[in-house]
Amino acid sequence: MSYTVEQALHLYKNLPIDEMSPDLFNTVVKVSLDSAGVSISELKEMAEQKQDNITEAIMGLQGEISAVEEAATEKKEQIVQLQNEVSSLEEAAAEKKKQVADNQGKLEDIAQLIGLFEE
């Protein structure tokens, strides 16, 4: 058959449905296709196959979307975990710096004390 589903859709979408009842519209589409020598049953089979193919493609894409969203969620969780680790390390570094400052103060005090004994 040389008439495609896309051509039938074009006909269907370009007829002025607003000006006729749905029953009349369907009749016009069927009569137009029939008068062009288009086998309605073959066109219906082709449309159903196209529908199945599109449905399969959608399902495949939905599966891919789920996998990507799951991976994104995992990455976000890893980011949160790493941010928590960075915060902990920064807190530990700050504590160590405070200890260094305290010890430097003690060293200065001890140096002054030693200076008193040397005079």
Q: Is 8 exposed, middle or buried (0-12, 13-18, 19+ CB in 10 A)?
A: buried
pLDDT at 119 over 90: no
Query: If you average pLDDT over every residue of the chain, what do you get?
Result: 92
pLDDT tens digits along 16-31: 877 778 888 888 888 8
Q: Phi and psi at residue 16, in whole multiples of 5°?
A: -75, 85
HSE, side-chain direction, 13 A CA sphere, residue 51: 7
DSSP string covering 85-114:
HHHHHHHHHHHHHHHHHHHHHHHHHHHHHH
| pLDDT at residue 75, rounded to an integer | 98
pLDDT at 1 over 60: no
Q: What percent of the chain has pLDDT over 70?
A: 98
What's the DSSP call for residue 119?
A: -
pTM for the complete prediction? 0.61
| pLDDT at residue 29, rounded to an integer | 84
Q: Residue 52: helix, strand or coil by DSSP? A: helix
